[in-house]
Structures are given as structure tokens and as C-alpha cells.
Chain A
Amino acid sequence: MTARNIALPEAITADWMSREHAGILAASAGGDLRLDCARLRRLDSLSLAWLAGLHAQMESAGKRLVLVGIDARLKSELAKATLPRKPGVSGGRDEMGNERNEKLAYRVGEAAHALGREVRDLFVLLSESLYWSSFGMFKKKTLLREDTVIQMVRLGSNALPIVLLLSTLIGFTLALQSGIQLEKFGATVFLASGIGISMVTEIGPVMTAVILAGRSGSAVTAEISTMVVQEEVGALHAMAANPIHFLVLPRFWAMSLTLPLLTVCSAVGGIAAGLVVGVFFFRLSPASYLNELKGAVTINFIGQALIKSLTFAWIIALVSIQKGLNVRGGADAVGKATTSCVVTCIFSIILADAVFSFIFYY
């Protein structure tokens, strides 16, 4: 069986290829593909890649690619060319004999394992932080006071304006919406207790924690993961400096001290906005608003709020530090870790809030 020879031009260009490729493939349907290379003068990477691709296609169909009449110079060029290697046939192992396994069950198992490891690491970090800020303090001067103050300012105090602004706005909206409903029943006097309880127990702690997760948690992760990427954490380790003392404790305590305080500010801001709405929109007197508030927001609610905000502070501090320390790779890993930190923090905060609501209900 002798197939027709297909003549190649002087140089195989992209234009030529896009015009002729389909036709050449169709012509090869009958048998071997024979290309007449008499006019061919140049073999560049594009032509080599094209020829190699045709060859692979022919071979998988059990046919041959034959180059007819290629001149001596091109022949020697062809002999020196780097053609694409065939994909390895090493049975899913790399050169060190490590097995690759891409099965679904394997991936699910690996993801579950990774999640388990992450949770375990978080608890290890929590216990180490608590140990080194309690019993461990007697062994060694561990808490760096100056660093803690710097972190308190950076992670906490600097967030005060945004926390106040947002909680005041939310308090305002909440008061207006619920006031309109309460007015229908002539019960606007309960505005104070509604705003007070919701701001103190729910919106204050959760909002503040979410703002801090986005603002300060992400900053911590970005900072620590950059330090890891630039080997600074490795250098600390090599100097026998415990990263817990240098990186973890100042941030852990900064967050634990400032988040409850910010929560108080947030609740006060929301309640004040409620007062303004009550006085100007629903003709309440400030005295009756405050009186009602005093009766509704008991010490119990304030205690709940503080427990919640301390828990949220630990979640943000530990998750953001852990995500930073666990980073592997380069600049892209820093970005991923930061995103993952914010998502994990917000999820955990809302989950913890749900658990708390359940506990406090009983």
C-alpha cells in the first residue's frame, strides 16, 4: 500500500499548519502518512513539535509517519533535536520509588487526615500558649511585655474606630427596625431591652470577632507566614529561640486582652445608637431607656459576652498563628494561608457562637 506523499513547504509556519493540519490528518486515514520534505529548508521548534505530535498520533493508530527525501543538513539537525519525551511508564512511581495515588478515597482520606492534624495542632498550640503563660513563666521569662504591648496596639487598639463605627451603625438599624414593629403594639419602651440584650450577647461579641478576624487575624497570618517563607522562623529555631515565646505569646495575649475590651466598646456603641433612635424617633426619655436597659442586661449576660469574646479571641489568635506557621512554599502560599485563616476564623466563630447559645440556653 503506497499512500500519496504530501508536500511540505519551505518552512512549516503556524498559518500553514492551521490551514493544512486537518487535511493532512484526513489524508492519512488510509494508511501511513508520508510527508515529502524535498522543499523543506528549516526545522524550528514549532515544526518539530508538530511532527512529533503527528508521529504520536500515527503510532497510536498503528501507522507510521514517514519523512521522504529530507536533505542531509536537516537530517543531522533532526538527530540533534530535543524531541518531547514520552510520558513515563514507571507505574505511578517517581524516581525515588514513591507511589502516587490519585484515587478519590485516597484524597478524601488525606483531606480528613489533614483536618485532624490541623485540629490537633491547634490544641497543642493552645496548651503550649496556656502553659507558657502560666506555669512555664516561673521556669523562664517567657512573656515579652514590650512585644505584647506593641501587638495590642496593632491588633486591637487600631481596630477601635472601625469596630465602633460598624456597631453604631448596626445598633442604629436594629433600633429603627425593631422600634417600628414595637410601636405597633405600643411597646417602644422595650426597645432598650431588645437592643441591650442583642448587642451585649450576640452582635457585640460576634461582630467584633468577625471584624478582628478579617482585620487582625489576616495580618497575623500574613506576617508569620512571610517569616516562615523567608526562613526567619527557621532561624529562630536554629538559635534555640522558642517561636512560642517570640511569635505566639505576644499575639495570643494581645488578642485575649483587646477583643473583650473591643466587645464592650462595640456593645456600648450599639446601645448608644439605640438610645439616639429611641429619643429622636420614638419619643422615649433617656432616663426610661437607661432604666429599662439596667433591668434587662443583667450581669449574667455580660459574663456570657465576656466568655464568648475571650473564646473568639483564642480562636482568632490560634488559627491565624497556626495557619501562618504551617505555610509551605512561596508568595502564593502566603496568600492562600491568609484567605484560609479568615474563612476558618469566621466559620469557627459562628460555630462556637451556636454552641454557646445552646449551652447558655440550658
Chain B
Amino acid sequence: MSDDTKLRVTGLRAGYGGRVVLEDVNLSVAAGEIRVVLGASGCGKSTLLKNIIGLERPLAGSISMLDTEVDWSAGNPPLALLQRMGVLFQGGALLSALTVGENVALPLRLHQPGLPADVVEALVRMKLTQVKLDGSYDKLPNELSGGMRKRAGLARAIVTDPELLFCDEPSAGLDPVTSRELDDLLLGLRDSLGITMVVVTHELDSIRAIADRLTFLSQGKVLYDGTWDEAQKSGPEEVKAFLARKSGTADLSGDPVPFHLEEI
């Protein structure tokens, strides 16, 4: 793997139970790149993400990230690797029994148990300021709005300064302004910390704003891999239509009219 490739997925096949959802998926993400994985609902975006971060086991294929071949099926998860990546889950996935501050501090407490408490607190407050949640240190997750929970989740994902950040639908269910703010946050993080990101989403405004490159999934396969502009010029019709907010393949007309019509 070349030095500037942070994530490479080769020939991934994935599914649940006996059902195959993804087939022969290849993906390679360069350092500092924001890669958006997109596609219609049910195309396997989230499954791809779950397989990469080890929440599901691939049926075939290999995944390597940060110059390490990942084998999630081995007994113990590769701790060193997990410490170098962050994940922002769809709903933020904050532990509901802990305050926002404790949630954000969790990765630090786990990986650097020796850190003095005041350093941890300062670091957590810094990250909360970065995501504009200064006043929420002592709040419980259920006292926050959806957008705030996502931002708190983002603070937790970046508290260890990861090299690789995975985001599952960061702007889903947010109003346009909040979603725009979150996009700006992600861009800011990339520019200031050089974090490489893989973002799963289908929000076109978001994609337009943050994506360096797109990976378009359709029916479990990679249909297109490239930039937005190339996709608009020379991409497959389904991708073009998706980006132009048109329904590309979804055929709403049903079967052709089967009745026999007769004039009088």
C-alpha cells in the first residue's frame, strides 16, 4: 500500500445471515481526502461502513487501513488501530447513562488511563468548543437536540485526534442550516488536522459541499468512483440522474397497461 493511501478495501463481499448485500466492492481513499459513499436507500452504504469499522464481519475480501491489514475476526480487536480512527454514528450513539463530558472523555479514559483528570477535562472542553457545544459539558444526551447529539458524537470521535474518521449519515434528519454547520465542521477538521474522512450520506447538498471524491453504490456494487464534476460529465446515467436529483432507475410506471382498449 502506498504511503498516502489511508484506507483500501479490496473485493469486499458482505451481508447478513445468508444474504449477500455487497459484492466485489473496491475502494481506496488517499490521505487528507473526504470520500463520500453515496447511493439510494438500501444500496449497502451502511453495510460497507459497518464492515470497514468491524461491526460486521466481511464474507470475503480484505480491508487495510493506516498501513495495517485489518482482520476483525481475530479474537481481540486491533486496539492500536481503533485508537487511530474515529466513528460518528448516525444518531451520535452517546452512552445515555453518561454526561456529554463523560462521553467525550471516554476514549481518553480508555486509551490513556494515565492522563491527569484536569488535562482530560481541558481537552474535552476544547473539543466541545470546536463543535460549538461549550455549555453542554454537564448535560445528559437526552437533554440535547438531534443536531447537538451528533456534534457531541463528533467531538467524541475526534477527541483522540484520529487519522481516519468515519461518518454515518452526518446530516440525516437535520435542518439545512444545522446540516450546513456540520459540513463546515468536517471541512474545518480536514483542513486543520488533516483528517482523512469516509462519509456515508445521500444528502446532495452535503455531498456537493464536502466531497473530494464519490463512490456511488448501486445494488451492492460500486457503480462509479470519481469526482462530482467527472460524474456529471461522463458518469453512468444512474449517477448523473442521482446527482441531478432525478429518479434515474426507479420506475414508477409499473407494468404497461394490460387492458385491451376498444374505441366505440
- B219–A95 CB distance below 8 A: yes
Q: Which of A38, A64, A230 counts the most chain B CB atoms within 10 A?
A: A230
Stretch at the interface among A81-89, A191-199, A274-282, A300-308: A81-89
A-facing mask of B72-112, CB < 8 A → 1, else 0?
00000101001101110111011110000000001100110
Query: Is A240 touching B77 in the complex (CB atoms < 8 A)?
Result: yes
Contact B259 A51 (CB under 8 A): yes
Enumerate chain A residues within 8 angstroms of B96, measured Cβ to Cβ: 227, 230, 232
> What is the bound-complex CA distance between A235 and B157, given in angstroms?
9
CA distance A55 to B256 in the complex (A): 13
Whether, in the assembled complex, B263 has its beta carbon less than 8 Å from a beta carbon of chain A, the answer is yes
Indicate the member of A69, A75, A235, A241 with the most B CB atoms within 10 Å.
A235
Cα(A227)–Cα(B141), bound, Å: 13
Find chain B residues with CB under 8 A from A86 CB: 255
Instruction: Check: A70 CB closer than 8 A to any chain B CB.
Output: yes
Minimum CB distance partner of B19 in chain A: A98
> Quick one: CB contact mask for B149-175 with A, threshold 8 Å, 1 for yes?
000010010000000000000000000
Contact A234 B110 (CB under 8 A): no
Contact B20 A238 (CB under 8 A): no
- Cα distance A231–B153 when bound, in Å? 12
- Complex contact B89–A235 (CB within 8 A): yes
Alpha-carbon gap, A239 to B153, bound state (A): 12
From A81, A82, A230, contact of B93 by CB (8 A): A230
Residue of B nearest to A245 (CB): B110
B253: chain A residues within 8 A (beta carbon): 80-82
B94 touches A68 (CB 8 A): no
Give the CA-CA distance A53 to B262 in the complex, in Å: 19
Minimum C-beta distance from A216 to chain B (A) = 17
Quick check: is B31 within 8 A (CB to CB) of the other chain? no
Q: Let me know if B257 is at the binding interface, CB within 8 A.
A: yes
Residue B254 at the chain A interface, CB threshold 8 Å: yes
A65 touches B259 (CB 8 A): yes
Contact of A234 among B89, B156, B260 (CB under 8 A): B89
- What residues of chain A lie closer than 8 Å to B20, measured between beta carbons? 96-98
Interface size on A, residues (CB 8 A): 42
Most buried by B among A67, A68, A85, A239: A239
B55 within 8 A of A: yes
Q: Which of A68, A83, A97 contacts B257 (CB 8 A)?
A: A83
B264: A residues at CB distance < 8 A: 38, 68-69
Asked if B255 and A83 sit within 8 Å, CB to CB, the answer is: yes
Contact A83 B254, beta carbon cutoff 8 Å: yes
Q: Is the CB of A68 within 8 A of B262?
A: yes
CB-CB under 8 A from B79, the residues of chain A are 240
A231 & B19 in contact (Cβ 8 Å cutoff): no
B254 touches A85 (CB 8 A): yes
A66 within 8 A of B: yes
- Chain A nearest CB: distance from B212 CB in Å? 23
List A48-70 residues whose CB lies under 8 Å from chain B.
Answer: 51-52, 55, 59, 64-70
Would you call B254 and A84 a contact (CB within 8 A)? yes
Q: How far is the CB of A228 from chain B (nearest CB, A)?
A: 10
Please state if B254 and A67 are interface contacts (CB–CB under 8 Å). no
Shortest Cβ distance from B20 into chain A, in angstroms?
5
Q: When chains A and B are docked, how far (Å) is the Cα of A68 from the Cα of B263?
A: 6
Q: How far is the CB of B259 from chain A (nearest CB, A)?
A: 5
Does A78 sit within 8 A of B, measured CB to CB? yes
- A70-B261, A80-B253 are contacts. A96–B23 as well, Cβ < 8 Å? yes
**Known pairs A51-B259, A82-B254, A239-B106; A234 contacts B93 (CB<8 A):** yes
Q: What are 13 A-B pairs at a CB distance below 8 A?
A: A38-B264, A55-B258, A65-B260, A70-B261, A82-B253, A82-B254, A83-B254, A85-B255, A98-B19, A227-B95, A237-B55, A239-B156, A240-B82
Chain B residues in contact with chain A, CB under 8 A?
Answer: 15, 18-21, 23, 50, 53-55, 77, 79, 82-83, 85-87, 89-91, 93-96, 106-107, 110-111, 113, 153, 156, 219-220, 252-255, 257-264
Binding site for B on A (CB under 8 A): 34, 38, 51-52, 55, 59, 64-70, 75, 78-86, 94-99, 141, 227, 230-232, 234-241
Other CB < 8 Å A-B pairs besides A96-B220, A237-B54, 8 of them? Answer: A34-B262, A82-B254, A83-B258, A95-B219, A230-B91, A230-B93, A231-B91, A232-B95
